[in-house]
């Protein structure tokens, strides 16, 4: 793994140094590959499962999640994901889809936070309820525009924090998000790295999550995507649902605002 | 119990197109878990699709079919509202049947 | 589906899927197909596989097309389809030459089912993908190379 990472970093350095790769026909075939996968995205299985979990009475309080308020009122899911993260007066916190979902599982269903978050991402043979639920909630925003203006003072503050983290160089490699994601037309191997500081780049990236990762055979949520990028940047990995991860999402969703959601996505 | 399949069946110009996603690990039997033990093979072996009770496809899978298998096929006939059922069984004898109305 | 069928499906442990479906009245016994073809799925070479499928000597043909990208971004999921304009196709089998066991899947098409199937397979490396088709009691085949770029890291 380590050697592999080194190799990737070396490749990254090369690509970032600006070597334009003549890979256009390859990219065409890869586009064809992705197109063939998009019709029949296994994410739909998780969406189905998430819907059943949402509606089923569970937990110590034997309640469903149907009264969960994802920001638009109890039970109102249409378009909710596209407007997250947002400030919630009841918790006095800016929350993303995952922290809000966990809040509902704890407050409505009576689960313990450590129990519901233990399997926050799946491993082979170990399914994650959170992944399925987030896929279902996300799908309810398919076709809607991302809309995170970050006007509330707390949201504006989190957007600033997110921006700060995005540009801040740290860790043993002195990496920042912006090194990989702050310029146009960058690529690591065959992966296009969008410029997340622009509406177009952030839009492409943010509108297609949560996403089925073909390489993992699993759904990935935005928390998992970002925490994994922090690991790739060789930063200390934050805890699940950390404010730093939520702040990055506010910053990125704000940049992406106006882009139409195409979720669930499917990615390499 | 196995999770539900996602089945889409749509009739157009006398042909019904069926697309099925199945929720299954499709373990090859060659992967090692984190403690280095081989994870036993676990995969769908047989599948059958019926339109109003008449078989329209039979399939046999090996371990090389991808995790969360996808299958698409077409048959002549089928009208909106007809029943289309898909059943699978795996090498451990687990099975699942789901049914949809053609649209 | 009614309860009786469900019970029958549950009860039918050793019958195999098609015996089971027949027992449940979902298909008629004449439609019930052969058991899972273990020798074909266990075969390690193309020749062995063809033999186990009863397809030894299958002639190469341009009447079958494999629809797949030339390059797969990830070998864990490679979309592959097989289509043919020939009438009366009875069986379509999908083989991946360089996999440890080449046979990935086989499809039996009752009359009325089009010769057009699509699925997704795992490929350990760049390899020829071979489609073997039984039509009018004879076997024919075609192949296409698919390159696999196992996209390394990038989490």
- Per-residue H/E/C for chain C: CCHHHHHHHHHCHHHHHHHHHHHCCCCCHHHCCCCCCHHHHHCCCHHHHHHHCCCCCCEECCCEEEECCCEECCCCCEEEEEEECCCCEEEEEEEECCCCCCEEEEEECCCCEEEEEEEEECCCCCEEEEEEEEECCEEEEEEEEEEECCCCCCC
What is the length of chain B?
103
| Under 8 Å between Cβ of B69 and B24 | yes
- Per-residue confidence (pLDDT) for residue A136, from 0 to 100: 98
C154 found inside a domain: no
User: For chain A, what are the domain ranges?
Assistant: 10-39, 43-267
* Ramachandran bin of B36, using left for φ above 0, alpha for ψ from -120 to 50, beta for the remaining angles: left
Name the helix (H) or strand (E) containing A177.
helix A177-181
Rounded distance between C-alpha atoms, residue A137 and residue A222, angstroms: 13
Quick one: which H or E segment has residue A88? strand A86-88
B91 within 8 A of B61, measured Cβ to Cβ:
no
Non-local (6+) Cβ contacts of B38 within 8 A are B29, B30, B31, B32
Task: Give the number of B-C residue pairs with CB atoms closer than 8 Å.
Answer: 133
H or E element that contains A13: helix A2-16
> What pLDDT does C86 receive?
95
Whether residue A137 is predicted with pLDDT greater than 90 in this model: the reply is yes
C122 contact A CB<8A: no
In this model, does residue A8 exceed pLDDT 50?
A: no
Same domain, C96 and C72: yes
Measured between beta carbons, which residues in chain B are less than 8 angstroms from residue A217? 66-68
What is the mean pLDDT of each successive set of 10 residues along chain C, which is 155 residues long?
43 53 53 74 96 94 95 92 95 96 96 96 94 95 91 33
Residue C73, number of CB atoms within 10 A of its CB? 26
Spatial separation of the C-alpha atoms in residues A131 and A121, rounded to whole Å: 7
The tokens for A97 are 């889809």
pLDDT-derived band at A3 (thresholds 50, 70, 90) equals very low
Residue among C71, C152, C155 whose CB faces A29 most closely: C71
C154/A232 touch (CB, cutoff 8 Å), yes or no: yes
Q: How confident is the model at residue A34 (pLDDT cuts 50, 70, 90)?
A: confident
* Whether residue C68 is found in the same domain as residue C82: yes
B66/A125 CB distance under 8 A: no
Asked whether residue B52 carries a pLDDT value surpassing 90, the answer given is yes
- What six digits make up the tokens of C46? 């193309």
- A35 in contact with chain B, both atoms CB, cutoff 8 A: no
Per-residue pLDDT at A109 exceeds 90: yes
Q: What is the 3-state secondary structure (H, E, C) of chain A?
A: CHHHHHHHHHHHHHHHCCCCCCCHHHHHHHHHHHHHHHCCCCHHHHHHHHHHHHHCCECCCCECCCCCECCCCECCCCCCHHHCCEEECCCCEEECHHHHHHHHHHHCCCCCHHHHHHCCCCECCECCHHHHHHHHHHHCCCCCECCCCCCCHHHHHHHHHHHHHHHCCECCCCECHHHHHCCCCEEECCEEECCCCCHHHHHHHHCCCCEEECCCCEEECHHHHHHHHHHHCCCCCCCCCCHHHHHHHHHHHHHHCCCECCCCEEEC
Q: Which domain holds residue C115?
A: 37-148
For residue A2, pLDDT beyond 50: no
Asked if residue C89 belongs to a domain, the reply is yes
Sort out which chain C residues have CB atoms less than 8 A from A217's CB and list them: 76-77
Q: What is the pLDDT of residues C29-52, one digit of tens each?
A: 444 455 899 999 999 999 999 999
In the beta sheet, which residues pair with residue C147?
C71
In-domain check, residue C69: yes
**Which pLDDT score is estimated for C150?**
66
A181 touches chain B (CB under 8 A): no
pLDDT in tens, C140-151: 999 999 999 863
Look at residue C155 and tell me if it is in a domain: no
Residue A9: pLDDT over 80: no
Nearest to C53 by CA among C101, C21, C86: C101
Q: How far is B6 from chain A (nearest CA, A)?
A: 6
- Whether domain A43-267 has CATH 1.10.1740.10: the reply is no
**Does the annotation mark A180 as catalytic?**
no
Topology of the domain covering B6-29+38-101: Immunoglobulin-like (2.60.40)
**Closest Cβ–Cβ partner in A40, A49, A124 for B3:** A49
pLDDT band at A216 (very low <50, low <70, confident <90, very high): confident
The total of other beta-carbon atoms located within 10 Å of residue A240's CB is 18
Distance, in Å, from the CA atom of A53 to the CA atom of A69, rounded to the nearest integer, reads: 16
Q: Are residues C67 and C27 in the same domain?
A: no
Q: pTM of this prediction?
A: 0.85
Determine what percent of chain B is predicted with pLDDT higher than 90: 85
Q: Please report the pLDDT score of residue A108 as a whole number.
A: 97
Mean pLDDT of chain C: 83
For residue A248, CA distances in Å to A84, A201, A244, A253 come to 12, 15, 6, 8
State which H helix or E strand residue A179 sits in: helix A177-181
- Our measurement of the distance from residue A35's CA atom to the centroid of its chain's CA atoms, rounded to an integer in Å, reads 21
- Region B26-36 average pLDDT: 87
Give the number of domains in chain C.
2
Angle separating helix axes A97-107 and A222-232, nearest 10 degrees: 120
Q: C68 and C134 share a domain?
A: yes
Position C153 in a domain: no
Determine phi and psi for C34, rounding to 5 degrees.
-65, 160
Top pLDDT among A35 and A224 is at: A224
End-to-end Cα spacing for chain C? 43
- A144-201 pLDDT, tens per residue? 999 999 999 999 999 999 999 999 998 888 889 998 898 776 666 555 677 899 999 9
Closest by Cα among A186, A162, A267 to A225: A267
Same domain, C18 and C61: no
Residue B95 gets which letter from DSSP? E
Of B60, B74, B95, the CB nearest to C116: B74
User: Is the sign of the CA dihedral C62, C65, C70, C75 positive or negative?
Assistant: negative
Is B38's pLDDT higher than 50? yes
């Amino acid at each position: 793994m380590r050697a592999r990472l080194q190799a990737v970093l070396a490749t990254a350095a090369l690509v970032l140094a600006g070597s334009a790769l003549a890979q256009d026909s390859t990219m065409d075939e890869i586009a064809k590959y992705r197109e063939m996968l998009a019709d029949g995205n296994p994410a739909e299985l998780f969406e189905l499962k998430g819907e059943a979990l949402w509606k089923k009475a569970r937990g110590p309080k034997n309640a469903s999640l149907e009264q969960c308020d994802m920001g638009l009122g109890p039970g109102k899911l249409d378009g909710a994901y596209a407007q997250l993260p947002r400030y919630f007066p009841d918790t006095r916190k800016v929350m993303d889809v995952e922290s809000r979902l966990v809040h509902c599982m704890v407050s409505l269903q009576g689960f313990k936070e450590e129990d519901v978050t233990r399997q926050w991402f799946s491993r082979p043979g170990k399914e994650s309820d959170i992944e399925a639920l987030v896929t279902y909630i996300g799908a309810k925003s398919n076709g809607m525009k991302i809309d995170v203006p970050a006007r509330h003072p707390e949201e504006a503050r989190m957007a600033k924090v997110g921006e700060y983290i995005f540009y801040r160089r740290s860790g043993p490699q002195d990496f920042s998000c912006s090194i990989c994601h702050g310029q146009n037309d960058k690529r690591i191997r065959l992966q296009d790295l969008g410029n997340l500081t622009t509406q177009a780049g952030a839009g492409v990236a943010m509108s297609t999550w949560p996403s089925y990762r073909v390489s993992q055979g699993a759904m990935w949520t935005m928390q998992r995507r970002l925490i994994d990028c922090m690991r790739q940047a060789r930063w200390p990995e934050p805890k699940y649902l950390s404010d730093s991860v939520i702040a990055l999402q506010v910053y990125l969703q704000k940049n992406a605002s106006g882009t139409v959601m195409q979720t669930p996505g499917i990615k390499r | 119990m196995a999770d539900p399949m996602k089945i889409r069946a749509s009739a157009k110009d006398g042909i019904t197109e069926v697309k099925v996603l199945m929720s299954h690990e499709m373990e090859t039997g060659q992967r090692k878990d984190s403690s280095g033990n081989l994870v036993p093979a676990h995969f769908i072996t047989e599948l059958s699709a019926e339109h109003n009770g008449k078989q329209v496809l039979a399939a046999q899978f090996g371990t090389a079919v991808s995790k969360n298998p996808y299958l698409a096929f077409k048959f002549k006939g089928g009208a909106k509202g007809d029943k289309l059922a898909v059943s699978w069984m795996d090498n451990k004898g687990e099975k699942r049947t789901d049914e949809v109305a053609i649209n | 589906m009614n309860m009786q069928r469900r019970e029958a499906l549950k009860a039918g442990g050793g019958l195999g899927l098609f015996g089971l479906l027949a027992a449940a009245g979902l298909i008629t016994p004449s439609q019930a197909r052969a058991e899972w073809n273990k020798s074909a799925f266990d075969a390690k070479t193309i020749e062995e596989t063809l033999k186990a499928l009863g397809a030894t000597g299958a002639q190469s043909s341009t009447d079958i097309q494999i629809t797949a990208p030339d390059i797969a971004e990830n070998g864990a999921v490679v979309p592959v389809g097989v289509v043919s304009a020939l009438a009366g196709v009875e069986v379509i089998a999908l083989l991946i030459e360089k996999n440890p066991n080449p046979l990935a899947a086989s499809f039996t098409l009752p009359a009325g089912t089009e010769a057009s199937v699509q699925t997704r397979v795992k490929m350990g490396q760049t390899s020829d993908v071979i489609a073997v088709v039984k039509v009018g009691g004879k076997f024919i085949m075609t192949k296409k190379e698919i390159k696999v770029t196992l996209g390394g890291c990038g989490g």
